[in-house]
Structure 1
Amino acid sequence: MLKLSLKRLFSDWKSYFLIIIGSAMTAASINMFLTPNKIAPGGLSGIGIVLYYLFGLPVGTTMLVLNIPLFILGIRHLGGVFGVKTLFSTVILSVMIDSTTFLPVLTREPLLASIYGGIMMGAGLGLVFRSGATTGGTDLAAKIIHKFIPFLTLGQLLLAVDFSVIVFAAVVFGDYELALYAIITLFVGSQVIDGILEGVNFAKAVFIISNKSQYISERIMKDLDRGVTGLGGKGMYTGKDKVVLMCILKRTEIPIIKSIVKEIDSNAFVILTDVREVLGEGFKSYE
């Protein structure tokens, strides 16, 4: 029991540590790349950047103030589904944005700022999401709107909200090129978030259909030291039962398995597909 309690305590501390690190990275991206170049990539951060240039309001404080009514509406209509971690991450992010304005501006080139700002912001938000939290903002707004417009998916609503913020920023700044840069930031950031949450494409799954599956599997296990699973299949044209081999490989092992299959059965049917994340022996350990 004590061991489980200590493990849970460590897990909780690890989550909050990730939130702090992720918030710091997000704040740095806003202050070093996005705000100085008037790039507002959707969300409350985008609104905060616009209001900063209109009225001189601190970006972090603006985000925190705008999140308050969203949390109230969330409690009222969603039952407070966001939890303590989201409240913590929202406050920490706002504080860090306003407390890191001293960071140097690394570039005044909008394209570079949109790309590197998106990378850093995506990495930061990915760590926050990985910890089981969100930063409130448009995520919460999309959930609230979804309550009243259920025929649209959360993804569609989130995209609509972010796009509206980008258009709003372009109108205020009177420069529609800034909207294009903001879309680049939004796209790059989303890709980085997916990479952190789901894993980078570092592995491949191979499916092999052959009449010599037994020989191929033996060679794979011997030469690559990889496990192979035989799946039951049936050729619908011939009506014969077949064994479909499935194996997870690292990218560097792909040429080897192709050579093995070609050597044993050049008529074999081979399917290669990307794998986002692999947990288990020989790959990534369980957290």
Structure 2
Amino acid sequence: MKSRNRSEMLRNPIWGTVIDFIYVLIGSSLIAIAFNLFLVPNKIASGGVSGISTILYWKLGLEPSYVQWALNIPLFIAGVLILGKSFGYVNFALKTIVGTIFLPFVVFLTSGLDAATVNPILGAIFGGVGVGLGLGFVFRGKGSTGGTDLLAQIIHKFTGLQLGMCVVLIDGLIVVSSAFTLSLESALYALISMYLTGKVIDIVQLGISNSKLALIISEHQDTLKQAIFEEVDRGVTQMEGRGGYTDDDRPVLMVVVSQNELTRLKQLVKRIDPKAFLIVSNATEVFGEGFRRHG
């Protein structure tokens, strides 16, 4: 009964919006704390408005939170005016406002914290992971922290460049700038941090799954199907394929297994049909019977 009530509550659009805003607030806080504990003390300008504020802090002594507000708010206004409807729906705009204002606010509140480390490599690693966790939460809340992402959208609109390329160009320019204004080492540490940030965002967004997707092409598909049912205890989907060279019809078996079931599956395929063609890949997310539940 409690589980059903919880499920109904989560499906409520108002409650869903509240959860989204909580994700944005938690994510923004994590980004700000990682910024002050790891990135700023080690002169790591890992792209975005936070990277610009790091450079200006070390070169001109400007308070990072003020710089972030000074850049984020005009960029948000420009995004609304220039991008119009393509900027996004009202909820997204509101969550972007929250991220745009709240992130620098937490940066300001936590600016007095002592550095967690003055080892640049540790700063790059843990700073990148912390920012990745924060951004992952923000994205799960279907929000944004604004900043150079909005600038990238504006450039994309006027130049036609792919949005991802615009983001890379802007962040790359900031990192290159840090090489000249701070040091080459700082720029290299920033690249490490940015790489880890991207990886952690993917983990938070997609989760960690040990499931494997196997595709099997064999002339003994019926025997294989029965063996998979009985010995691995997994369902099998049969698809129709066609050989590119021979133009012959070839059934393709698709099965999803856990990591510890994969060895059994491979041994089973090898035993029944040593000539079988087996492809195994990571299944990032799997929902359904025998795996994770939706929602």
Give the TM interval when normalised to the shorter protein.
Answer: over 0.9
C-alpha displacement at 1:269, in angstroms?
0.8
Which residue pairs with 1:86 in the alignment? 96
Report what 2:199 is aligned to: 191
Pair 1:24 & 2:29 matched: yes
Partner residue in 1 for 2:176:
167
1:174-195 deviation digits (Å, cap 9, x = unpaired): x111111111111111111122
Q: What residue number does 2:187 align with?
A: 179
Which residues of 2 match residues 144-155 of structure 1 at below 5 A? 144-150=154-160, 152-155=161-164
Aligned pairs, number:
284
- The verdict on how the C-alpha distance between 1:168 and 1:5 changes in structure 2, with shifts beyond 3 A counting, is closer
1:63 equivalent in alignment to 2:71: no
Pair 1:233-2:241 in alignment: yes
| Residue aligning to 2:224 | 216
Bigger mean CA offset, 47-56 vs 234-243: 234-243
Report the secondary structure of 1:36's partner residue.
coil
Query: What is residue 12 of structure 1 aligned with on the other side?
Result: 17
How big is the shift at 1:260?
0.9
- Equivalent in the alignment of 1:131: 141
Distance in 1, Cα, partners of 2:52 & 2:243: 57
C-alpha distance in 2 between matches for 1:159 and 1:176? 19
CA distance 1:244–1:6, change in 2 (3 Å):
closer
- Which residue of the other structure, out of 152, 164, 170, is the alignment partner of 1:142? 152
- Helix, strand or coil at the partner of 2:286: coil
Cα displacement (A) at 1:170: 2.4
Aligned to 1:282: 290
Q: 1:74 aligns to what SS in structure 2? A: helix
1:112 partnered with 2:117: no
Work out the CA distance in 1 between the residues paired with 2:101 and 2:290: 40
* Partner residue, 1:103: 113
Deviation at 1:282, TM superposition (A): 2.2
| Matched AA of 1:125 | L
Q: Is the 8 A contact 2:10 2:16 kept in 1?
A: no
Identity of aligned residues (%): 40
* Alpha-carbon distance in structure 2 between the residues aligned to 1:57 and 1:249: 54
Q: TM-score, normalised by structure 2?
A: 0.90
SS at match of 2:40: helix
- For 2:64 and 2:278, locate their aligned partners in 1 and report how far apart those are by CA, in whole Å: 53
Deviation at 1:84, TM superposition (A): 0.8
Root-mean-square deviation (CA), in Å? 1.9
SS in 2 for 1:208: strand
Q: Tell me the equivalent position of 2:5.
A: none
Deviations 1:238-260 (A, max 9, x none): 55433210011222211010011
Alpha-carbon deviation of 1:201? 5.0
**Counterpart in the other structure of 2:80:** 75
Aligned with 1:39 (options 38, 44, 47) = 44
- The structural deviation recorded for 1:262 is 1.3
Q: Secondary structure at the match of 2:80?
A: helix
Q: Could you give the per-residue CA deviations for residues 99-151 of structure 1, whole angstroms, max 9, x where no partner exists?
A: 1123332211111111111011111101101110111111101000111110x
Alignment partners' CA distance in 1, 2:65 and 2:176? 21
